[in-house]
Amino acid sequence: MHRGGVIVVKFGGSVLRCEDSLRLAVHEVLRWRRDGVRVVAVVSALSGRTDALFAECRATGLGAGAYATAARVACGETESAARLGVELDAAGIEAAVLSPEAIGLLAEGDPLDANPVGVDAERLRGVLRARGVVVVPGYVACDRNGRTVLLGRGGSDLTALCIARALGARCRLVKDVDGLYEHDPSRPGPRARRYAAARWVDALATDGSIVQHKAAEF
């Protein structure tokens, strides 16, 4: 176990299957805090929530516009972050729940598949020093006009990696598969190769396919 420092821990929808799963995330945060490590917890929407929100947007006749869709779908991650904040508070763990706008997480490009271009690392460090734990919704960012955008499928992993890189911190992606792959191992086609070790460039080049629960860090 590492003493002190900062770690970014990302909890995916495959792990957050229901509200009860948030309590498992609390235990993961707590074990790091007991060792004096400050934690940025990045959370996905609960399992199935993102698909349901996209379906809701498609069901509006001609379909919602891209920015309106992004704002609606982002509610899944925002809700998870708020719920985890409540659970942490109930467990006596002081935490700050911050929006992508609050941490300066900027992205450019397609509003439903944007690329992150910056994070306010100093703002995050300040809150971490004061509170010890920061909870951030994954997958969601803001563009330079303040509009909500999404980072595309696997975007919560990208959120975590982007924040960790900005902070110079370790990153742990909590998932339900057995390693980091070059692409989704469930996708048809050539068998995906699993990394024995990964550099930042390797991790950022993947499409969100992923790291074993409590098994690997960057």
- What whole-number distance in Å separates Cα of residue 207 and Cα of residue 152? 9
Task: Encode the chain in three state secondary structure.
Answer: CCCCCEEEEEECCCCCCCCCHHHHHHHHHHHHHCCCCEEEEEECCCCCHHHHHHHHHHCCCCCCCHHHHHHHHHHHHHHHHHHHHHHHHHCCCCCEECCCCCCCCEEECCCCCCEEEECCHHHHHHHHHHHCEEEEECCEEECCCCCEEECCCCHHHHHHHHHHHHHCCEEEEEECCCCCECCCCCCCCCCCCECCCCCHHHHHHCCCCCCECCCCCC
pLDDT for the residue 19? 75
The β-bridge partners of 16 are: none
Q: Output the six-digit token pair for 168.
A: 């110079």
Q: What is the pLDDT of residues 158-205, one digit of tens each?
A: 999 999 999 999 999 886 666 677 776 777 888 888 877 766 566 655
pLDDT for the residue 175? 67
- What whole-number distance in Å separates Cα of residue 84 and Cα of residue 22? 6
Q: What is the pLDDT of residues 92-101, one digit of tens each?
A: 999 999 999 9
- What whole-number distance in Å separates Cα of residue 7 and Cα of residue 160? 10
pLDDT for the residue 209? 37
Low-confidence ranges of the chain (pLDDT < 50): 1, 207-218
pLDDT for the residue 124? 96
pLDDT for the residue 3? 59
